[in-house]
A and B are shown apart, each in its own frame.
Chain A
Amino acid sequence: MLASPLPPDEAQRLQVLLDLNLLDTGPEERFERITRLASRLFEVPIASIGLVDAERVWFKSHHGVADQEVPRDTAFCAHAILQDDVFVIEDARADWRFADNPYVAGAHDLRFYAGQPLAAPDGSIVGTLCLLDHEPRPFGDADRALLRDLGAVVAGEFAADALQRALRQQRDSETWMRALLDHLPDSVLMLDESAKVLSVNPAAERMFGAPAAQLVGRNLQWLLVEAVPDLVRCLPEGQVCTREGNGRRVDGSTFPLEISTSIMHLGGHRRYAAIARDNAARLEETRRLRAAGERRSRFFKAAAHELRTPLASIIGFSELLLKRDFDAATARELLDIVHRQAGHLSALVTQVLELARLESGGPAVLQIGPQRLESILSDVMNAVAPLGQNARIVLEIEPGLPPVAADPHKLCAALVHVLNNSIVYSAPGTPVTVRAWRGPDAAFGTVLLRISDAGIGMSEEQQAGMFEAFYRGKPDARPESTGLGLAIFRETIQLHNASVEVASTLGRGTDITLTLPAAAALPHA
């Protein structure tokens, strides 16, 4: 028996066959109809459409025979696909190539075979339309022509399938592109050569405040406040032109905008794709960063100034002490200044670092938990005791306050800065009142804390600057003050999610009121 050699394009052919999506699928009337017709036309008992797979011939349609598939090495079809035209074995038993074929010598008892090779749309031969009979028979030119025509009908079905698949793929990809454009947060506008809007996506409808129908047909320039002729004119191929400016909505309102255009060619026409982005958030972010940068720069300049001042005393006096002879009392006085200024310098460095830590670290720098305000206030009283004026402090704490959400050490340190100021900037005989009471916020609960003095008070300008680092409200501010206490206080309060209100009148005194969240508002409480 002669085994069939493999076609030269076997690998490609198998891939094309696989892509046809016909192997191992159920019977289909469009193919059944053809084999039925062939059997009747040629008066043969068996007509089938065989697809030649790697190891088998699988029948998409098999009229008159039960086998769904046969091994490739014994199949006539494996020979037929090597031919350019109809392959005919008029009497297999008389043909040395097939006489000992099991289908000829065995129970199938086949004598006649005619197979028309079937081509996929790319020309690869994937199978045959074949006729089989138990009797030998002649197969003339007219028969061959008829079989060729029927084969062409089968190949036509393969081609129709491929076209369907291609159409579906294109539809899928168009749907995907459409979905992408629909959900893109940026506005996309398609423009013609004169910058007239051809189509827009939903983001553009939202941005310009009008449905697509009202935007299409307008010139891009109409949607922009500033004239930007170079967005479409003079734009070199393959380059993107980006401009910042202001957009104009259909209702006339304007908004900051960044727009980019690029050229493309569609169906022989030159088109422009314009992508527009609302620039407000970015501008705001830039402004915020610049303000933060300026604040930081001011802070460093002030910090350098504040550090140089005690250093001037330390360096100057120590040099004098080393180079000149002073009497013991004067020398001691100068050393005392050096010591005090070194202490001040040390306090400054500590507080600068503390402020930097609070500013950079976020909530993680605090250990916030449920705390009794009474106990924190008692620590505050101990901390200000060295000023020797605790007798002036009047504590008015409402009984049964809920615990507050606080870092006890940081909140205590912050309150000490405020209480210090209240004591120092008010007359010795006047009271400083510390009042705490339950806030009106019923949902989560708050505790209010107010520190009031009847001191010198602050002007509006002083109130505006009081929380700035190194701010000096008065030229004769206490020399031992670092100027950082209230800046540290404010940072600490912000990290507690608390708020602060200042009410002050020159010559009358100052009220500083904190609203602290109750511990019940903590996520884990």
Chain B
Amino acid sequence: MPESILVVDDQPELRLLIRLTLQTLGKVAVAGSGAEMMERIAAARPRVIVLDVSLGGESGLELCRALKDDPATCDIRILLLSAFVQEADVAAGKAAGADDYMAKPFSPRDLQDAVAALLV
């Protein structure tokens, strides 16, 4: 069974939380930075990426935009996860091509449902 979900977050606790939350849906890989994310994608293309908007110094929005602009990765579905939750932030996420946007803190159940919907 191929890896189907990739979790990208710079905080180890959140990576663990999301991995535990989503492991009922499929195989979950994790990455702590944009570079690590690209390595994981190259190794095994995921169907869904759960991507944190602020990855330390990196912008999750820019990574999202880059993936959606690249024909090789544009069909990977992306759920942005962010502690910035104002309307403008959500609009920026949509503008970057994200398929869904979820605010931190979140209920694991809701995240599970949202990712399940993207896997269909």
Contacts and interface: CB of A to CB of B under 8 A. Distances in A.
Contact of A320 (B14, B17, B58): B17
Contact of A316 (B56, B83, B85, B108): B108
B54 interface: yes
Contacts of B11: 309, 479
Contacts of B58: 475
Interface stretch (A106-114, A300-308, A398-406, A498-506): A300-308
A337 B83 contact: no
A476 interface: yes
Given A304-B83, A320-B21, A337-B13, A315 B109 contact: no
Interface string B54-78: 1111100000000000000000000
A506 to B, nearest CB: 15
B36 to A, nearest CB: 12
Contacts of A317: 13, 17
Interface string B85-120: 100000000000000000111111100000000000
B105 A312 contact: yes
Contact of B83 (A309, A314, A472, A477): A309
A238 to B, nearest CB: 46
Nearest to B55: A475
Contacts of B108: 316, 319-320, 323
Given A337-B13, A341-B13, A475-B10, A311 B104 contact: yes
Interface residues of B, number: 25
Nearest to B86: A301
A31 B57 CA distance: 101
Given A312-B17, A316-B21, A476 B106 contact: no
A315 B105 contact: yes
Given A309-B11, A337-B16, A475-B10, A316 B105 contact: yes
Interface string A456-483: 0000000000000000101111010000
Interface in B11-65: 11, 13-14, 16-18, 20-21, 33, 54-58
Nearest to A318: B108
B105 A320 contact: no
Given A312-B83, A320-B20, A320-B21, A305 B105 contact: no
A301 B84 CA distance: 8
Interface residues of A, number: 25
A518 B7 CA distance: 55
Contacts of A334: 20
Q: Is the interface of A mostly helix, strand, loop or mixed?
A: helix
B104 to A, nearest CB: 4
Nearest to A313: B13
A305 B54 contact: yes
B13 A308 contact: no
A472 B56 CA distance: 8
Contacts of B83: 304-306, 308-309, 312
Contacts of B85: 304, 308
B76 to A, nearest CB: 23
B107 A319 contact: yes
A309 B104 contact: yes
Closest 9 CB pairs of A and B: A475-B56, A308-B83, A312-B105, A475-B57, A312-B104, A305-B83, A311-B105, A315-B105, A316-B17
28 contacts: A301-B84, A304-B85, A305-B83, A305-B84, A308-B83, A308-B85, A308-B104, A308-B105, A312-B104, A312-B105, A312-B106, A313-B13, A315-B106, A316-B18, A316-B107, A316-B108, A319-B108, A319-B109, A323-B108, A472-B56, A472-B57, A474-B56, A474-B57, A475-B10, A475-B57, A476-B56, A477-B56, A479-B11
Interface of B: 10-11, 13-14, 16-18, 20-21, 33, 54-58, 83-85, 103-109
Interface of A: 301, 304-306, 308-309, 311-317, 319-320, 323, 334, 337, 341, 472, 474-477, 479
Given A312-B14, A315-B106, A475-B55, 9 more contacts: A308-B105, A311-B104, A312-B83, A312-B105, A315-B107, A317-B17, A319-B108, A474-B56, A475-B57
